[in-house]
A and B are shown apart, each in its own frame.
Chain A
């Protein structure tokens, strides 16, 4: 039997027109400025014929290109290998095949031009970045619908087969109907959360706000701002005794700090008001927000990366934030990230237990090599060195003061901070998970299930060859985790990770 689309097909005939016009549009956009120049300047009489000839030749070439690219664009369905095959390209050629099981969805799209010409885009979407989706840009309505139908049927057939195979496995889920447990964030916890969160964001918001107002005022009256400056100068002069100036600065700092705190609190109230987390039999339901109510249903299968964020104060108050990265078939795996703040340790354990298919077991912990600390120090001192160099040109008389300030910054802030940062960084590989811990104040714990890995990259700069140090990157559909400068001993565990992925038959999304 000859099943539909099993022979290589061209797009619908009007497609030539569509390709031509879209190429023409691209051409115009590229040459637009030049053309505009000629039009505005007015054609010189001697060249008119030449220009018209040139344009005609370009159009002909474009038409030829469009026809060729129309005839070179062929697609068909390979039922034997159960995949969709596409061939395209005039000068360069590309041959793409997509197995049915990887197709996420097939949908139509229509631009204005496509409407006018009367064709449809059929987009075949796979998981992964937006550039990877396949777009058949010029199909007649009937053909487009046929293709969608046939593809979706084929996809569903294969998926049902695999699902049937999967459903043989016993489900260990408890048969409790609807709610298993429920967690509500009280306004008090929200307040605690606001008070202990990162104020920098709040301060930053103020700065942007003030900055924009200042700019607007400045735009209005330049003369007055001079007077204002004079006024400010007089004001400062009046307070010019060092102690008073110090107190004034301190007051400003405290003021900004308090305002930042208030803004952070307000933001958190708006975003997370009435947060309600419910676990049902097969998903985690999240509801929150004052103005725009967010409602999310989390399925364990879709979760790619789980991150727990906390800081020492929040830790003491037993409030942790959980961030979850999902695999998304939409645009550039847009790292659909979900934040659930203010969870208690117990709730996090529950969430983990629900989202992960196996319990946490201890594994081998890796630390980056000490040379990383030195590299961090060098990197962090670069801005200081730059400052010193600039200062030596601008204010050579104050070099001693400036150098001592820079040294104090380096010694008191950078050396300890980078040390603790380096100390905090670790990677644990357990039989089922990869866990990366990092952060001095904002402590992050990131967890990936081994079988959800997509690929592993190991790289090594040539100058670390002797030390046998490598950088490792673990890619998932919800973002990657990388870990720098670690001994070659981790390679065994890379083998193990690959082994876990390769023997795995669980659906990863």
Chain B
């Protein structure tokens, strides 16, 4: 397997390396939002268990379920905590990279001149926690679209404008 890029006009070594990017992390508020959702579910399940306790007489069922749920939710909380550090985006002159995944680290790079359109969105909970999502769509289908969560709304809007400006620039 030797180097056979005989006619390439560029030196691979000197190309900007996407692995060397420094990724900006997303707002801590995202983590709090997800935790809040998890907490709500946890409370709902706890209430459910409370009523189940009155209705059932299977021995050790309730303690078993409680330990089970505590372990599951503990893992989910921990997972989100670890995930938070792994979420990040990096903007370059001509493309945007988005990194996510704790067990499966995944980086998607989209060149600006391949972006179809771009939008910001914020759900009801996002608004409470004052964050927004930046969605970038390409023609490559769902696999290559990215959705960056947990951005401060004004930053999301600014990013959107910045990328959108690049879009029109890239076309000219």
Binding site for B on A (CB under 8 A): 81-83, 89, 91-99, 101-102, 126-129, 132, 158, 161-162, 165, 327, 332-333, 361-365, 367, 431, 453-462, 473, 475-477, 479-480, 491-496, 498-499, 501-502, 504, 508-509
Contacts and interface: CB of A to CB of B under 8 A. Distances in A.
A454 B124 contact: no
Contacts of A83: 164, 168
Q: What 3 A-B pairs have minimum CB-CB distances, sorted nearest first?
A: A454-B140, A475-B140, A475-B144
Contacts of B165: 81
Given A81-B165, A457-B108, A128 B116 contact: yes
A97 B160 contact: yes
A206 to B, nearest CB: 35
Contacts of B168: 81-83, 99, 101
Interface residues of B, number: 60
B139 interface: yes
B167 A363 contact: no
B55 interface: no
Given A98-B117, A364-B3, 18 more contacts: A81-B165, A91-B124, A96-B118, A97-B160, A99-B171, A102-B167, A126-B117, A127-B139, A128-B116, A327-B139, A362-B4, A363-B5, A431-B5, A492-B12, A493-B12, A498-B95, A499-B10, A508-B114
B6 A459 contact: no
Contacts of B119: 94-97
A462 B4 CA distance: 31
B164 A81 contact: yes
Contacts of A158: 171
| Best-buried of A473, A475, A499 by chain B (most CB within 10 Å) | A475
A132 B137 contact: yes
Interface stretch (B16-24, B32-40, B65-73): B16-24
B13 interface: yes
Q: Which of the listed residues B7, B16, B171 has the most CB atoms from chain A within 10 Å of its own CB? A: B171
Nearest to A364: B4
5 contacts: A97-B164, A102-B116, A454-B144, A458-B106, A494-B109
B116 A132 contact: yes
B141 A456 contact: no
Nearest to A482: B143
Interface stretch (B45-53, B56-64, B97-105): B97-105
A455 B167 CA distance: 15
